[in-house]
Chain A
Amino acid sequence: MMQFMLLFSRQGKLRLQKWYVAHPDKLKKKITRELITTILARKPKMCSFLEWKDLKIVYKRYASLYFCCAIEQNDNELLTLEVIHRYVELLDKYFGSVCELDIIFNFEKAYFILDELLLGGEIQETSKKNVLKAIAAQDLLQEEETPQGFFEDHGLG
Chain B
Amino acid sequence: MPAVRGDGMRGLAVFISDIRNCKSKEAEVKRINKELANIRSKFKGDKTLDGYQKKKYVCKLLFIFLLGHDIDFGHMEAVNLLSSNKYSEKQIGYLFISVLVNTNSDLINLIIQSIKNDLASRNPIHVNLAMQCIANIGSREMAEAFGYDIPKLLVSGDTMDVVKQSAALCLLRLFRTSQEIIPGGEWTSRIVHLLNDQHLGVVTAAASLIDALVKRNPDEYKGCISLAVSRLSRIVTSSYTDLQDYTYYFVPAPWLSVKLLRLLQNYTPPEDPGVRGRLNECLETILNKAQEPPKSKKVQHSNAKNAVLFEAISLIIHNDSEPNLLVRACNQLGQFLSNRETNLRYLALESMCLLATSEFSHEAVKKHQEVVIVSMKMEKDVSVRQQAVDLLYAMCDRSNAEEIVQEMLNYLETADYSIREEMVLKVAILAEKYATDYTWYVDVILNLIRIAGDYVSEEVWYRVIQIVINRDDVQGYAAKTVFEALQAPACHENMVKVGGYILGEFGNLIAGDKRSAPIVQFQLLHSKYHLCSPMTRALLLSTYVKFVNLFPEVKQVVQEVFRQHSNLRSADAELQQRASEYLQLSIIASTDVLATVLEEMPSFPERESSILAVLKKKKPGRVPENEIRPALTHNMNSSEHTTNHNSNNLTSSAATNNAATDLLGLSTPPAPTNTGVLLDVLVGDIYGGGNAINNTPSSTIQQNTYNPKKFICKNNGVLFENDLIQIGVKCEFRQNLGRLGLFYGNKTSFPLQGFTASLLNPNEWVTKLSLQIKPVEPVLDAGAQIQQMVNVECVEDYTDAPSMNISFIYNNVPQKLTIKLPIFINKFFEPTEMNGESFFARWKNLGGNPQKSQLIFRATQGMDLMATRTKLIGFGMQLLDGIDPNPDNFVCAGIVHTRTQQIGCLLRLEPNKQAQMYRLTVRSSKESVSQEICELLSDQF
Contact = CB atoms under 8 A, between A and B. Distances in A.
A108 B5 contact: no
B708 interface: no
B78 to A, nearest CB: 13
Contacts of B7: 142-143, 145, 147, 149
B88 A142 contact: yes
B404 interface: no
A136 B443 CA distance: 70
Contacts, number: 213
A47 B91 contact: no
A86 B781 CA distance: 35
Nearest to A94: B5
Contact of A105 (B4, B125, B139, B306): B4
Interface stretch (B51-59, B517-525, B694-702, B734-742): B51-59
B60 to A, nearest CB: 11
A12 B346 CA distance: 26
B166 interface: yes
B620 interface: yes
Interface in A24-77: 24-25, 27, 29, 43, 45-51, 53-54, 72-74, 76-77
B166 A119 contact: yes
Nearest to B251: A82
A156 to B, nearest CB: 12
B92 interface: yes
A18 B176 CA distance: 18
Contact of B248 (A23, A126, A134, A149): A126
B311 interface: yes
A49 B1 CA distance: 35
A153 B11 CA distance: 6
Interface string B28-71: 00000000000000000000001111001001001100101010
B170 interface: yes
A49 B346 contact: yes
> B-side binding surface: helix, strand, loop or mixed?
helix
A79 B258 contact: yes
Interface residues of B, number: 90
B245 to A, nearest CB: 4
A107 B205 CA distance: 26
A128 B307 contact: no
Interface residues of A, number: 72
A104 B139 CA distance: 29
B383 A47 contact: yes
B32 to A, nearest CB: 15
A97 to B, nearest CB: 11
Interface in B5-20: 5-11, 13, 16, 20
Nearest to B53: A152
B258 A76 contact: yes
Contact of A82 (B6, B248, B383): B248
Contacts of A130: 162, 201, 245
B255 interface: yes
Contacts of B248: 82, 86, 126
A78 B622 contact: no
B831 interface: no
Given A72-B811, A94-B5, A14 B170 contact: no
Interface of A: 1, 14, 16-17, 21-25, 27, 29, 43, 45-51, 53-54, 72-74, 76-79, 81-82, 85-86, 94-95, 99, 101-102, 104-109, 111-112, 115, 119-130, 134, 137-139, 141-143, 145, 147-149, 152-154
Closest 5 CB pairs of A and B: A120-B173, A54-B621, A78-B307, A79-B307, A141-B87
Interface of B: 1-2, 4-11, 13, 16, 20, 50-53, 56, 59, 62-63, 66, 68, 70, 86-88, 91-92, 95, 99, 101, 125, 128, 131-132, 135-136, 138-139, 162, 165-166, 169-170, 172-173, 176, 200-201, 204-205, 208, 245-246, 248, 253-256, 258, 262, 300, 303-304, 306-307, 310-311, 342-343, 345-347, 380-381, 383-384, 386, 620-622, 748-751, 781-782, 811-812
